[in-house]
Structure 1
Amino acid sequence: MWFGFLASSLILSQVAAQYASTFPSFIPLVQRSPHFGSWIAANESLGTPANQWPITWTNRILGWQGFVRVDGSSWQWQGRQGGELARTLGAYITPTRTIFTIEAGPVQFNVTYLSPIEPSDWVLQSFPFAYVFIDAWSTDGNAHDVQFYSDVTGEFISGELANTVQWNTMQTQTSLYHQMKRTTATPMTENNNLSEDGMLHFAAELASPGLTYQTGPAGEMRSQFISNGRLANTQDSDFRAIRSNWPVLAIAMDLGSITQTSTPVVWAIGLLRDPVIRYVRDAGIESRTSYFWTKYQSIGDAVSTLSSLSVLREAELAQLDAFIADFPSARNRAEAFDMKIMSAASAVSQQYADLVALNLRQTMAALEITTAKRPSGEWNASDVKIFMRDTGNSRRVNPVEMVYAALPALLYLNASLAGLVLDPMLEYQASPQHLNNYAAPDLGSTYPDATGNSTNQVLLAVENCGSMLVMALAHAQKSGEGGLINQHYTLLREWADYLVSNTLQPTAYTTADGLAGATSNLALKGIVGIYAMSKINEALEQQGALSNYTEHYRDTATRYARDWESLAVSGDHIGSSYGNPSPWGLVFNLFAPRLLNTTLISESIYDTQAAWYASQAVSAPAFGFQYDGNDPKRVKTHWTLLTAASVAKSPVKDTLISMVHNRILIARAGSPNPTTYNSDTGATSVIGGRASPAQGAILGLLALNLPDQTITFPKEEETVDVDVATIAGGVVGGVSGVLLLVLAVWFYRRRRRQIKEGKFKMAAPSSATPGLPTESSFVTPFMTTIPDASVATSPSEGYVGKRGPLGYTNQDSSSTGTNTPGWSLKVAGNIAAGSSSQVALTANRSGPSVDGESIYTSQVGSSMSGDLSLRQEVEQLRREMALLRNQQMEPVQDEPPPMYVPGVLQERTSTLGPSNTAPRK
């Protein structure tokens, strides 16, 4: 079997043997949430879904079978049970889709796995469902009887096959649904990186041609379809273990006698959990759920939960129906999204476009967009927080270094996303639950429990403080949303002061990768963090609330940067440690000054490093530079990609990109798309970061083109609601609740009055004591190019001429320089000739839509409700007084206005691109 690898960087006439090293080792299928993702291994069967099971990123099998029946003969197009194997002709990967072109006798069809990426709509992005759809056509011009079948097992909902599951089938007026869950679910629990509290849904539209369904033993269901081309529309009532006679949810469709499909055959598959996160808040634990529920909060029946299969919530049914009905529009949006981002990526290089296509789904799938309920019981649509799972490494929640690596993708897709990820990190650390005067490394180590981390992590203090300050400013600059830096100014300044005292000589600290002694790169992170604080202060100063601090942080960062340059550069490059040219590593923290549009670091430093990388590339290992000589032979792709962005003006960026690209094409790689591996062999013995969101670093080059926005801030509120229970719970230091309440209210109103009267000024910090004291000092083709719109013909528009593996009309050899039998393509540059490579995917940041009106979502939680609880104000005062004591300052105000009022932004709009055919799964 030959496997067409659709990449314009390849010569399509290569022989089959050569493809063994020219396609990714794992192909992404569905990627929709931290617990709902699937891949197929491409190293044994050249990327065909036939004759292999989909797997998780940990290589656990997910039972998902597919058959096609043509004129009474059956072929297996996915899975490993029964029937002759269909022939996979080609594959095509975009950021949202994986498409396989498959042949079964006289019929060919495209199977498309579509995982929507909806960066401007929190409702759509938070819904953990995906589409699998098929377009088919006859290859001999004759009509043929065609039926399609697919089923799924309970392997999606538990990591233990001995667990008992139960299932149900039901219909609405428009859709048919199968559901399956554990009989006794264990909330907020993972087993083998699979959730133990989810409900698997497998659904189709009732209007689908020849729709039949059944639940029962896998062997019986599959045999029945192979024999009859249909199912019995019955349900199995023998609830049992996942592996006991393998109960499956099956749906088949009979297209009748056709020469081509007029509309696609569509299945919807999803994994719902409710709640999805437990989050520490206000000295308690808050259960949070997926944001999509807010769209249907006006619908009744919000009583039952996913623990019951007998009755689904009316809101859930409405959402499921809406998702299925939205397929045509979702498909168009996905195609337009892919075309825009791939056009921009292809303008860098085709290898770069390959990486963008492969990495983006897994970055977005690591996120949960959540909301919570008001005390009155309805969903609080203005309370939006995003939680990231450290997929591929651990169960940490919002790990700082992973969020930092993924930041380019978040900013480029919609900068407001970055704010929603940062918000719970900042909110927790501004609360009494966080006990340290430096930034925490994460929100906990047992996802989905985001219960905070206040352990002694002082060794990581410089790294995490610097990263948090850089991310806070980058979000504000690229989104124009000043709410987070406004609300958490005191906290951010506390971290900046820590850096002022500790960053230039960080010998007592380690990097996020656990390296001690890599002072050059680590010190740079802290210096840029101090600079970020100067810009944060400058933005607030322009609002008239602050003064004097901007110059202090700017001058300190500038002085440190000059000192750093003299210390770090050894001869013709930067060494890992000061004054020592060997070992050396990738100085990926040079990316942050580029992103923040500052000249803090001399341009000559960038030129020096680019020249050094180029000189070393001649003898570089096959799969990339070690990220640091203190950890020999270990490549980290996310840091390699940020390094490439830091030297974007040099051709060596393409060398760095090529190194990463080489590794994703390695045969028998062992696991999907890792961030860490051996530089010489790509070996899995040092593997890490499988399917990690850190691969969002790939968009670093595109994120550098994002313009800075004018940072705006909310208006101050005149009143504060007093929650007596909250205040009582926040009493600290042995002071009575009543006295503290009176003091806080008085001090709060006094400060507000002084601000309004223009009497409030801040003293400059003493240069002698600037900070707080430290604590104990592709897969197979990966065609990342997009077919020319003038060539592509949607199945719904009718096929022209003989169809190729992607459903496009054959062109002559002038299209690609070759004349590969059966199919051809044009390069992406032809799609949008004359269009700018700078794609405005971030121009519309409307966020979610509630009751037909978009709302401002960058600042979330209690701050967006219009009221900052007095308990939070008390905590701000506590922090403020601590700063005053340590800095020997006069008791003056240093916090921003505490209210962040939602603003109204434009509603999300979508430019629909041409309808492309899609294949696979």
Structure 2
Amino acid sequence: MENSMRPPAVPLLNVDPYFNAWSSSDHLYDDHVHHWTYDEHRDSGIFGMVGMIRIDGEVWRFMGKVSDAEEEVNNLEQLQLTVKPLSTIYIFQGAGIKLQVDFTTPLLLNDLDALSRPASYVTFDVWADDGKEHDVQIYFDVTAEWCVHDKKQQVRWSRSTLEDNIADMCIGTVDQPILERTGDDTRIDWGYFHLLVPQASNAVSVIHASNIRKQWIQTNSLPNEDDRHMPRSVEENTPVMAVVLDFKSVDATKETKFLTLAYDDIDSIEYFHQRLPGYWKGNGQTTDQMLQLSITDYSKLKKACHEFNESMIQETTDVGGTKYRDITSLVYRQAVAAHKLVLDDKGELLFLSKENNSNGCIGTVDISYPSIPLFLLYNPELVKGMMRPIFRYSRSDDWPFEFAPHDVGVYPVANGNVYGENKLENQMPIEECGNMLIMMTAVCLAEGEATFAEENWDLLTQWAQYLEKNGLDPGNQLCTDDFAGHLAHNANLSIKAIIGIGSYGILCELLGKKEEKKKYIALAQQMATKWEEMAIDDDHYKLTFEQADTWSLKYNLVWDVIFPLNLFSKEVREREISYYLPKRNRFGTPLDSRETYTKADWLVWVATLADQKEDANALIEPLWLYLNETEDRVPFSDWFDTKSAKRLNFKNRSVVGGLFMLMLKETNWKTANA
């Protein structure tokens, strides 16, 4: 597989909302590597990472910026960039050599130990392509910028030797303000950033100032010992952890070496006033053991990642073609790495999202809702991990409303809802109740049993009853598309309420509650019939019930097909798809008749409503064009203008997991009316 799409930003090292590095250039050497927050704070968002190669005594650059030595170093020619679900692979050429650089993070959703381990791999493959032998060394470094929020913060460093003679260099802040910094545009400033060098790599390493790059270029050597001038601020002679890998004589046979980058955050989440470490620490594993395993498991995990990459690439191609393959390959790591995996005090799984570049909330229900197609496909337990915090908070005395909350705090502190300052008028009552009921039904159908629903039946019933009373014709309120403001009589939100009630009926059936099942399925059917009468507007359905000559993407309708409930007549879907297709601009169909912007996740959801594959592709392919042509070089922004490809806001959000809805359609779900 070779991508033809130019990604707006390229995932490199993507583990969680903090350990999350990208390239926003056509070539890996065009600019610095950076954290996903980079465009708001360009200076403090840099994640310094530099790669150079010495071929027969001449130095070439293949990654990052070398600062004061920039003019002294030519770059290799970048031949190819391939983005796979778990791996990003660059190929370079020059001076008789080809160099492949592979960034792989084992975010394997069916292997929670690997998923939660805060480690990522950089693999170098070198071979000659001119029939000759060449003397080759690779220089690689990462800076202390990875472990501070602000460059004025002071850091200290150390090194140790793990079992099997693995060299471990690490850097962290002096103050170590664990879990003290909350918010959206933030970088971690506690814990320790590690660079691990396997014993077999034939390498030398050092912790020093970034001017050693120039020393290595000019003298082919590194300082003999680590810099002792610590602590110091990151802006003062920026500290780097550097390594030189000696490939010696290289011929046409591919030679391989790898490095591991890891980040031990000590504690990951504050959960209702209790500090929780990462999931990987749950069995008593120490940091040294985690680091050791990241090296010893390398071959096994690389093989597993390769197999997953090829399997997912084939499946997405079969379902949606090569453009859909490119899109889903790009978003996989973004969707997963916007979460943190931990265990609560009962030993139950929590999979907590950060609402990146929106408001920084943690565990947001209407961020989880669009993301779940990906996780339902590969591990539904993770969806339960998204929902558990909402159930816990909803039962507390701190939540005053009868409907479901929006969130449980601001990342990484999950101590209770913060959205809208807890004012009633700023909540999303229909949205979040519908979301939780639909998510629960999806999980139970995916797992084939309803124990999780039974454990939370009191709240599910309360929310279903709320939708029964308030859902058909919603009052003036926000929905997940809150950037569009409050809206009364929202037809798409009404669909969510109806599907939510039907979902509750499915849950009743799964739990053997036959009379309740009949009642709620019948109620949902009656409401759907009434909806069609209220929403019809000649050849399509309205944005709001009282506004003629309006329209909107009815993306919530997708669950009527997925489960399937079949509450709405087939004509609703057919009319809507026929209406959306001529409304397309170059980069997609707008969200509704008010503006020209759209949402990427909802585009794929409405495409999933199409009975004809060519109609689905026609709705999705403009999304590929947007990614390929947008001038906003940021991690996938899901909210953009369909005429200009301009990003409106948002980037690096987990909602892109929703782009797997087209694949989810192929899943066999239990029929509600069986």
TM-score of the aligned structures, taking structure 2 as reference length: 0.93
Deviation at 1:223? 2.6
| In structure 1, distance between residues paired with 2:546 and 2:630 | 41
SS of the residue aligned with 2:15? strand
The answer to whether the Cα contact below 8 Å between 2:476 and 2:489 also exists between their aligned partners in 1 is: no
Tell me by how many angstroms 1:583 deviates: 2.0
Which 10-residue stretch deviates more, 200-209 or 485-494?
Answer: 200-209
In 2 relative to 1, CA 402–428 (structure 1 residues): closer, same or farther, beyond 3 Å?
same
Structure 2 CA distance for aligned equivalents of residues 660 and 392 of structure 1: 20
Matched, 1:254 2:271: no
Listed one character per residue, the Cα deviations across residues 398-454 of structure 1 (whole Å, up to 9, x for unaligned) are 11111111011111121221111112222221233322110001112x210111128
Does the 8 A contact of 2:438 with 2:503 survive in 1? yes
CA distance, structure 2, for counterparts of residue 201 and residue 481 of structure 1: 42
2:13 aligns with: 30
1:53 partner amino acid? H
- 2: distance between equivalents of 1:706 and 1:577? 32
Describe the shift of the 1:271–1:112 C-alpha distance in structure 2 as closer, same or farther (beyond 3 A): same
Shift, 1:234, TM fit: 1.6
**How far apart are 1:24 and its partner, in Å?**
2.1
Partners of 2:217 and 2:140 in 1: CA distance: 12
Structure-2 separation of matches of 1:623 and 1:659: 4
- Report the 3-state secondary structure (helix = DSSP H, G, I; strand = E; otherwise coil) of the residue aligned with 2:428: helix
2:359 matched residue in structure 1 = 394
Partner of residue 288 from structure 1, selected from 254, 260, 276: 276
- Structure 1 Cα separation of the partners of residues 459 and 139 of structure 2: 56
Q: Which has the larger radius of gyration?
A: 1
Structure 2 residue aligned with 1:658? 621
Letter in 2 for 1:520: A
* Secondary structure at the counterpart of residue 357 of structure 2: coil
User: Partner of 2:246: helix, strand, or coil?
Assistant: strand
Q: Does 1:339 align with 2:339?
A: no
Structure-2 residue corresponding to 1:321: 292
Displacement of 1:510 in angstroms is 2.7
Mapped contact 1:229–1:254 kept (Cα < 8 A): no
Maintained 8 Å contact 2:264/2:287: no
User: Retained in 1: the 8 A contact 2:47–2:146?
Assistant: yes
Residue in structure 1 matched with residue 57 of structure 2 by the alignment: 72
- Kindly tell me: are residues 265 and 119 of structure 1, through their superposed partners in 2, closer, same or farther at Cα, counting changes over 3 Å? same
Please report how far the alpha carbon of residue 271 of structure 1 lies from its aligned counterpart in structure 2 after TM superposition: 2.0
Quote the residue 1:470 is aligned against. Answer: 438
Find the residue that maps to 2:312 and give its secondary structure.
Answer: helix
Match runs of 1:386-535 below 5 Å: 386-444=351-409, 446-453=410-417, 455-457=422-424, 459-514=427-482, 515-517=486-488, 519-535=490-506
Supply the distance in 2 between the matched residues of 1:709 and 1:71 (Cα, whole angstroms). Answer: 64
Unaligned runs of 5+ in 1: 11-21, 300-314, 374-379, 712-921
Counterpart-to-counterpart distance in 2, 1:181 and 1:62: 14
* Residue 357, structure 1, aligned to residue 324, structure 2: no
Paired residue for 1:217, among 181, 185, 209? 209
Aligned-partner Cα distance in 2 for 1:563–1:435: 32
CA drift at 1:278: 0.7
Q: Is 1:367 aligned to residue 339 of structure 2?
A: yes
Matched residue of 1:151: which SS?
strand
Listed as ranges, the matches of 1:11-50 within 5 Å are: 23-42=6-25, 47-50=26-29
Paired with 2:654 and 2:451, the residues of 1 have a C-alpha distance of 25
Alignment of 1:620-659 (within 5 A): 620-630=584-594, 632-647=595-610, 649-659=612-622
Q: CA deviation at 1:235?
A: 1.2
Query: Matched residues in 2 for 1:462 and 1:597: separation?
Result: 21
Do structure 1's residue 165 and structure 2's residue 155 form an aligned pair? yes
Tell me by how many angstroms 1:261 deviates.
Answer: 5.8
Matches of 1:548 and 1:6 in 2, distance apart?
Answer: 55
| Separation (CA, whole Å) in 2 of partners of 1:642 and 1:287 | 37
Do the aligned partners of 1:212 and 1:233 also contact (CA within 8 Å) in 2?
no
How much has 1:668 moved relative to structure 2? 2.5
Name the amino acid aligned to 1:31: N
Report the 3-state secondary structure (helix = DSSP H, G, I; strand = E; otherwise coil) of the residue aligned with 2:331: helix
For 1:648 and 1:184, how far apart are their aligned partners in 2? 58
Write the distance in 1 (CA, Å) between the matches of 2:667 and 2:635: 30
1:549 aligns with 2:516: yes
* Deviation of the 1:485 alpha carbon: 0.5
Q: Is 2:34 the partner of 1:6?
A: no
Q: 1:689: which partner in 2? A: 650
515-524 or 553-562, which moves further after superposition?
Answer: 515-524
Matched, 1:182 2:143: no
Q: Does 1:63 align with 2:27?
A: no
In 2: Cα distance, 1:112 partner to 1:537 partner: 49
Shift in CA distance, 147/648, structure 1 to aligned 2, threshold 3 Å: farther
Q: 1:470 to 1:537 in 2, by over 3 A?
A: same
Match of 1:431, SS? coil
Q: Higher relative contact order at CA 8 Å, sep ≥6: structure 1 or structure 2?
A: 1
Judged with a 3 Å threshold, the aligned counterparts in structure 2 of structure 1 residues 237 and 593 are, in CA distance, closer, same or farther, namely same
Q: In structure 2, what is the equivalent of residue 133 of structure 1?
A: 123
Paired amino acid for 1:111: V
**2:341, 2:252 → 1: CA distance?**
39
Q: Which residue of 2 aligns with 1:714?
A: none
Counterpart in the other structure of 1:762: none
SS of 2:511's equivalent in the other structure is: helix
Q: Is the 8 A contact 1:571 1:581 kept in 2?
A: no
Compute the displacement of 1:250 (Å).
Answer: 0.7
CA shift, 1:187, in A, is 1.9
Q: TM-score, normalised by structure 1?
A: 0.68
Residue identity matched to 1:465: C
CA shift for structure 1 position 577: 1.1
Secondary structure of the residue that 1:349 maps to in structure 2?
Answer: helix
**For residues 813-832 of structure 1, what are the structure 2 equivalents within 5 Å?**
none
Whichever residue aligns with residue 288 of structure 1, its letter is L
Q: Is the 8 A contact 1:574 1:581 kept in 2?
A: no
- Partners of 2:509 and 2:47 in 1: how far apart? 52
One-letter code of the match for 1:361? R
- Distance in 1, matches of 2:18 and 2:406, equals 22
Distance 1:578 1:181 in 2: 56
Identify unmatched segments of 5+ residues in structure 2. Answer: 39-44
Distance 1:62 1:706, change over 3 A: same
Distance of 1:701 and 1:53 partners within structure 2: 35
Post-superposition offset of 1:695: 0.8
Q: Distance in 1 between matches of 2:476 and 2:632?
A: 37
SS of equivalent residue, structure 2 residue 136: strand
Pairwise CA distance, 1:709? 6.5
Instruction: Give the deviation of 1:456 after TM superposition.
Output: 3.3
1:95 to 64, 85, 101: 85
Superposed displacement of residue 230, structure 1: 4.5
RMSD over aligned Cα, in angstroms? 1.9
For each residue in 1:801-851, what CA deviation from the matched residue of structure 2 results, as whole angstroms up to 9, or x when unmatched? Answer: xxxxxxxxxxxxxxxxxxxxxxxxxxxxxxxxxxxxxxxxxxxxxxxxxxx
Aligned residues: 649
Q: How far is 1:707 from its partner?
A: 2.3
State the partner residue of 1:589: 556
2:659 is matched with which residue: 679, 686, 698? 698
Q: How far is 1:53 from its partner? A: 0.7
Q: Residue 704 of structure 1 aligns to which amino acid in structure 2? A: K
